[in-house]
Amino acid sequence: MKPIKTIILVLSLGAFGSSQGMAQDEELGQNEIENSSPTRRHRTYHFGIGVARPMSIGNDYNHYEKLFGSGSAYPEIWGEYSFLTLGGGFDLGVSFRTGLYQDSGKSAGNIDVPDGGLEQDLSDSDVDATQKSQLTLIPLQTSLSLSYAPFSSRFLVASVWGGLSYTYVENTTQANLDSSVDQSEVVPFVNSGFNVEQVVGASLSFDVSKIDPRAAYSLKVYGISGIFLTPFFQTVTTVSNEVGVYDRTTLGVMFSFEATGT
């Protein structure tokens, strides 16, 4: 019986040692994942796509609402380079944002507009339902940004930015003709140009990749240190009015990737 007991004892010790080794390996792997959480970086790069919608457009009067109604949702792309770590969780960077905003509506009738613009609300009689308008805005925005991450893992990042937007504006007016009329023979009236606008915004970013630490560790193999879901708020104020005033207050959400530089 002693040889049998000896064999059982050896097998038990081997199984215990194997399970202990597996537990240690698993613990080491988990520690490696946790320790791989990104800390303060010298440089970070961001690229994101999202959707935004202006809550208001124009000046203090009802011009846009009368002609186009409420604002429409539109796509945006965004890039940012954080080039300087200030310490204490703060980063300084530069960002670029652009999008394509389009909306269609009615046209204004024959209204005498002074050089300083029409400073009064439009009435129903000021709207010409026999003509339709198409508005296009393409902002080219450059800003200086300041971000703050209260945690070293950067699970949460708050950002503010301010800058200028060089915005292409095109307003096309065309007679609202019957479908039987050949539209190619009708020459629309196009008013286009560039406005200079001042931009101020803020956002709050949540790193959704940190929900699963193993997934976050795997993304680092591809150079991605975070995947962020970012709701944002932005105000745009016209500085140089070449093609009408299109001040905007915008809400949106962005889905972005973060990569860490050396």
Quickly count: other Cβ atoms within 10 Å of residue 260's Cβ.
18
Helices (H) and strands (E) in the chain, counts: 3, 9
Verify that 24 and 46 share a domain, yes or no.
Answer: no
- pLDDT tens digits for range 114-140: 455 555 556 555 566 677 888 899 999
Verify that 64 and 191 share a domain, yes or no.
Answer: yes
Q: Which has the closest alpha carbon to 93: 56, 46, 134, 144?
A: 144
Q: So what's the pLDDT on residue 78?
A: 95
| pLDDT higher than 80, residue 188 | no
> Which pLDDT band, with edges at 50, 70 and 90, does 34 fall under?
very low
Q: Between 169 and 226, whose confidence is greater?
A: 169
Q: Between 113 and 101, whose confidence is greater?
A: 101
- pLDDT tens digits for range 55-109: 888 776 655 666 677 788 999 999 999 888 888 889 999 999 999 999 887 766 5
Mean pLDDT of the chain: 77
Mean pLDDT, residues 226-247 taken together: 90
* pTM check: above 0.85: no
> Which pLDDT band, with edges at 50, 70 and 90, does 191 fall under?
confident
User: Which domain range does residue 24 map to?
Assistant: 1-35
| pLDDT higher than 60, residue 17 | no
Q: Which has the closest alpha carbon to 33: 21, 45, 25?
A: 25
> Which pLDDT band, with edges at 50, 70 and 90, does 173 fall under?
confident
Q: So what's the pLDDT on residue 37?
A: 41
Verify that 11 and 77 share a domain, yes or no.
Answer: no
Verify that 64 and 151 share a domain, yes or no.
Answer: yes
Q: Between 160 and 44, whose confidence is greater?
A: 160
Strongest mean pLDDT among 6-15, 29-38, 72-81, 237-246: 72-81
Q: What total of structural domains would you count in the chain?
A: 2
Cα-based angle 120, 122, 125 (whole degrees, multiple of 5): 140
> Which pLDDT band, with edges at 50, 70 and 90, does 241 fall under?
confident
Verify that 164 and 204 share a domain, yes or no.
Answer: yes
Verify that 31 and 46 share a domain, yes or no.
Answer: no
Verify that 121 and 20 share a domain, yes or no.
Answer: no
| pLDDT higher than 60, residue 40 | no
> Which pLDDT band, with edges at 50, 70 and 90, does 186 fall under?
low
Q: Which has the closest alpha carbon to 255: 232, 239, 236?
A: 232
Verify that 179 and 220 share a domain, yes or no.
Answer: yes
Which residues touch 225 (CB under 8 Å, ≥6 apart)? Answer: 38, 41, 44, 154, 219, 258, 259, 260
Verify that 233 and 143 share a domain, yes or no.
Answer: yes
Q: Which has the closest alpha carbon to 236: 228, 245, 225?
A: 245
At 187, list the tokens: 């020459």
Verify that 75 and 197 share a domain, yes or no.
Answer: yes
| pLDDT higher than 70, residue 256 | yes
Verify that 121 and 217 share a domain, yes or no.
Answer: yes
